């Protein structure tokens, strides 16, 4: 190769090198400060105890929170955080850029825990559970909060539940499920999470407005009947059959005669309540007063809510769950009494 040609090649290589050196800072600035890996309003990520900068970068890349593990690790090294990563949960608000993710690590991480609300739990059971999980100091403090909810709910949430009586508690308005909450979460944080989840599942089931209008009931009435069905039946199939029986009783002005509502008053769990308890003077006593009680008696599952809105038509008049948990149905009182004598001891 001639000297002239060699000089030309060297000049081209030199020019490319200069351009490359000039562009690198711009590329880094873009990747670190401008490029948004996600468009979420907020993202959450977790740093486990003992995570290295390398391991964390790989996790964040897999979660599509960052675009480059190399640049992110370099950023942590330059900030001096590569050797001192705090364990816990971290959140980043929009815009989700690499620098905002890295800066989130400057603060101590928050720690969370898993809680599970069981379908059919009433507020007292939820309160006892939250105390056990260390999220409340006493059962009474939880019940006081839950029985006076309007002032605690965030703007607009209370309005999401149409026709909810002003003095109604949160009974029935909490969606049973498994949740992750911060260990230092307030009662407001916990209850809002559970209530929002309830409203979300009703929206996802397309309750508003067609199914609600077709039912001829308010959300409060639907949740009330669903809560009774939750306590009376164990399977989605039985719930749908029992729902039809109860709806016919309501339409005919009959008493629902649900043992579950009496147990709600007494705090017992009797499959067949006593004659004495059936005489308790309470609007929740559906043996004494026809129609629905004032509100839900527990927090029902979505299956129970679906049963109210889509009951299985049948000709049964009575039902009972035996000691074996199997539901028995009857068309006459004699059949029902025979079932009680045979399957309930």
Residues 45, 144: one domain?
no
Kindly report the average pLDDT of the chain as a whole number.
86
CA distance 295 to 225: 9
**CA–CA distance, 326 with 234 (Å, rounded to integer):** 8
Distance CA 197, CA 173 (A): 9
Same-domain pairing of 232 and 321 = yes
Residues 230 and 145 in one domain: no
Domain boundary among 110, 127, 158: 110
Tokens coding 188: 């407001």
Among 61, 92, 110, identify where a domain stops: 110
Quickly list DSSP for 5-35: HHHHHHHHHHHHHHHHHHHHHHHHHIIIII-
78 and 140 part of one domain: no
- 209 found inside a domain: no
* Neighbour-count burial of 283, counting CB atoms closer than 10 A to its CB (0-12 exposed, 13-18 middle, 19+ buried): middle
Kindly state whether residue 54 falls inside one of the protein's structural domains: yes
Which domain range does residue 243 map to? 218-343
110, 130, 160 - which closes a domain:
110
Structural domain includes residue 148: yes
CATH number at residue 77: 3.30.1490.480
User: Taking the complete model, does pTM exceed 0.85, yes or no?
Assistant: no
CA dist 152 to 99, 102, 123, Å? 35, 34, 16
Q: What is the pLDDT of residues 270-327, one digit of tens each?
A: 777 888 989 999 999 999 999 999 999 999 999 999 999 999 999 999 998 888 889 9
The count of structural domains within the chain is 4
**pLDDT tens per residue across span 2-50:** 555 566 655 566 556 556 666 677 667 777 777 888 888 888 888 888 8
51 and 1 fall within a common domain:
no
Query: Does 150 share its domain with 95?
Result: no
Could you read off the pLDDT of 75-96 as tens digits, one per residue?
Answer: 888 877 777 788 888 889 999 9
How many Cα neighbours within 13 Å face the side chain of 203?
10
């Amino acid at each position: 190769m001639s000297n002239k040609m060699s000089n030309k090649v060297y000049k081209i290589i030199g020019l490319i090198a200069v351009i490359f050196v000039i562009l690198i800072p711009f590329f880094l600035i873009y990747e670190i400060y401008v490029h948004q890996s996600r468009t979420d309003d907020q993202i959450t990520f977790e740093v486990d105890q003992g995570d290295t900068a390398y391991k964390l970068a790989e996790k964040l890349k897999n979660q599509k929170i960052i675009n480059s593990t190399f640049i992110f690790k370099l950023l942590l090294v330059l900030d001096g955080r590569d050797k001192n990563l705090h364990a816990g949960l971290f959140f980043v608000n929009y815009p989700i850029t690499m620098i905002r993710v890295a800066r989130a690590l400057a603060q101590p991480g928050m720690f969370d825990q898993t809680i599970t609300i069981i379908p059919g739990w009433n507020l007292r059971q939820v309160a006892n559970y939250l105390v056990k999980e260390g999220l409340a100091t006493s059962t009474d403090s939880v019940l006081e909060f839950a029985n006076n909810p309007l002032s605690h709910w965030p703007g607009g949430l209370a309005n999401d539940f149409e026709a909810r009586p002003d003095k109604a508690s949160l009974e029935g308005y909490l969606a049973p499920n498994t949740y992750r909450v911060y260990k230092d979460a307030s009662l407001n944080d916990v209850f809002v999470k559970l209530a929002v989840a309830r409203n979300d599942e009703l929206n996802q089931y397309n309750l508003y407005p067609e199914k609600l209008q077709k039912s001829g009931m308010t959300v409060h009435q639907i949740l009330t009947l669903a809560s009774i069905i939750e306590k009376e039946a164990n399977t989605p199939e039985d719930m749908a059959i029992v729902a039809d029986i109860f709806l016919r009783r309501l339409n005919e002005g009959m008493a629902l005669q649900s043992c579950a509502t009496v147990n709600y008053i007494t705090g017992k769990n009797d499959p067949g309540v006593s004659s004495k308890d059936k005489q308790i003077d309470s609007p929740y006593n559906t043996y004494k007063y026809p129609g629905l009680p004032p509100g839900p008696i527990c927090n029902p599952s979505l299956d129970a809510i679906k049963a109210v809105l889509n009951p299985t038509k049948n000709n049964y008049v009575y039902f009972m769950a035996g000691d074996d948990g199997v539901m028995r149905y009857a068309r006459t009182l004699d059949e029902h009494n025979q079932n009680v004598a045979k399957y309930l001891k």
